[in-house]
Amino acid sequence: MIIRPKVRGFVCVTAHPDGCAAHVREEIDYVRGKGRLENGPRNVLVIGSSAGYGLSSRIAAAFGSHANTVGVYLERPPAEGKPATAGWYNMAAFEQLARNEGLYAGSVNGDAFSTGVKKEVIDLISRELGSVDLVVYSLASPRRTHPETGWTHKSVIKPIGRSFTDKTVDVDKGIVHDVTLEPASQEEIEDTVAVMGGEDWELWIRALAEANLLAPEAATLAYSYIGPEVTWPIYHNGTIGGAKADLLHRAQRIEDLLKPLNGRARVSINKAVVTQASSAIPVVPLYIAILFKVMKAKGLHEGCIEQVHRLFADRLYHGGALEFDEEGRIRLDEREMRADVQDEVARIWKEVTTGNLTELSDIEGYRNEFLKLFGFGLAGIDYERETDLLVPAR
């Protein structure tokens, strides 16, 4: 089958197996190029490992630190005439490449919020690894079925308290327009916390601790974002920000739980990058397109793999004490938040329109990154060639 990108709103409903594999290899090459990480993690569980920050975390652990990894994700496999989701191809490629390297790479494709998947992962770790010394929690999901109540909570991206109007961009059409978002109801606020907050992270760590699968000094991380004030009504002060505040609160409880092991639980504040999750948030893609323009011009640009490599090499496993901000969070967003970067972004934000979008922002770079998430636009891939959808069968 010849596979072409089919973009529908903020998703691409097709994915290219060879392109996804090339994307995974690109991240592996980056990590390899940085050299072997001494004292890095040995056995790592990544929850949400098939895309974005979770994928880069799995790659940085395996190829930067020679770690065995278990990945959990929710992806659709290929069917006759229908490509798999990109994450499924990413994981197929990762597993193959990790095994070629002599590394253990086990995966569970299922709902990470469920008790059944937690049990499956626990069985896998106890059988194959014995314990894990790092657990990365990198889920981004629109819904969660609660394991006890059976209720399905849906997360919303809305402001809290009052409505909000600002610029956003239709990435595909290149149109800058205003968007108004009505404030979330109390129920929507609570639902978003139930999905994107820290309850499930805590359930995972409790389950692993009860099964005695956490190594001494085990660390666990969850990812979050703060960003500049222009995004605050929709992010930091909105429903998603409420969920992230819960994540931080849970980190403290999890760290208390890990005290007997001398373990650590931290939230890492990462920079804004193009992922399937971030492209679904209004306002944010326009901000990212402008941010890319400014950070690239200043030689500061980073994607997921550069961020996670820095997280491992300069923060978690650099051999010294772990540095936090005043709220105990690891900060990887210091380049994005530099005053000169944000002043420039704020100036452009006021001026940007449909007419000057290409000139004032890196919308082209944004589009390329977006398509790359689905395996399109990678060098060395012949997109005109008939492609086998069922990769592992090859």
Q: What span, in angstroms and rounded, lies between the C-alpha atoms of 275 and 277?
A: 5
| Tally of CA atoms within 13 A in the half-sphere of 190 that contains its CB | 6
Nearer Cβ to ligand NAD, position 31 or 72? 72
Applying CB under 6 A, the site for ligand NAD has a residue count of 29
By rule CB under 6 A, what string of x and - marks binding of each residue 297-336 to ligand NAD? ----------------------------------------
Q: What span, in angstroms and rounded, lies between the C-alpha atoms of 142 and 22?
A: 28
* CA-based nearest residue to 192, from 225, 240, 151: 240
57 is an interface residue for ligand NAD by CB under 6 A: no
Nearer Cβ to ligand NAD, position 275 or 387? 275
Compute, in degrees rounded to 10, the torsion defined by CA atoms 295, 299, 304, 310: -120
Instruction: Enter the tokens of residue 251.
Output: 């980190």
Nearer Cβ to ligand NAD, position 74 or 286? 74
* CA-based nearest residue to 267, from 336, 339, 335, 316: 316
Nearer Cβ to ligand NAD, position 89 or 113? 113
54 is an interface residue for ligand NAD by CB under 6 A: yes
Report yes or no: 105 and 59 within 8 Å, Cβ to Cβ.
no
- Cα 214 off chain centre by: 23
CB of 389 to ligand NAD, least distance (A): 19
Q: What is the DSSP string of 302-326?
A: --HHHHHHHIIIIIISSSSPPP--T
Interface segment toward ligand NAD; rule CB under 6 A; list 3-11, 34-42, 98-106, 109-117: 109-117
Residue whose token pair is 């996804």:
20
* CA-based nearest residue to 154, from 184, 110, 121: 184
Interface segment toward ligand NAD; rule CB under 6 A; list 27-35, 133-141, 180-188, 321-329: 133-141
Interface segment toward ligand NAD; rule CB under 6 A; list 20-28, 34-42, 155-163, 222-230: 222-230
Q: Which of 41, 87, 197, 303 binds ligand NAD (CB under 6 A)?
A: 87
Q: What is the DSSP letter of 379?
A: T
Choice among 73, 235, 317, 366 that is catalytic: 235
CB of 72 to ligand NAD, least distance (A): 5
Q: Which of 73, 94, 235, 287 binds ligand NAD (CB under 6 A)?
A: 73
> How do beta strands 7-8 and 164-170 pair?
unpaired
Chain residues 31-50 in contact with ligand NAD, contact rule CB under 6 A: 48-50
Nearer Cβ to ligand NAD, position 60 or 139? 139
CB of 360 to ligand NAD, least distance (A): 21
Residue whose token pair is 């929709």:
234
366 is catalytic: no
Q: What span, in angstroms and rounded, lies between the C-alpha atoms of 34 and 37?
A: 8
CB of 346 to ligand NAD, least distance (A): 19
Q: Which of 273, 311, 357, 389 binds ligand NAD (CB under 6 A)?
A: 273
Q: Which residue is nearest to ligand NAD (CB)?
A: 52
| Tally of CA atoms within 13 A in the half-sphere of 84 that contains its CB | 27
State the distance between the two ends of the chain, measured CA to CA, in whole angstroms. Answer: 14
> How do beta strands 132-137 and 214-224 pair?
parallel
Q: What span, in angstroms and rounded, lies between the C-alpha atoms of 308 and 295?
A: 18
CB of 18 to ligand NAD, least distance (A): 20
Instruction: Enter the tokens of residue 381.
Output: 């891939």
By rule CB under 6 A, what string of x and - marks binding of each residue 138-177 to ligand NAD? xxxx------------------------------------
Q: Is 374 helix (H, G, I), strand (E, B) or coil?
A: coil
Interface segment toward ligand NAD; rule CB under 6 A; list 9-17, 72-80, 158-166, 379-387: 72-80
111 is an interface residue for ligand NAD by CB under 6 A: yes
Applying CB under 6 A, which residues contact ligand NAD?
A: 48-54, 72-75, 87, 111-113, 138-141, 223-225, 270, 272-273, 275-278
Q: Which residues are catalytic?
A: 235
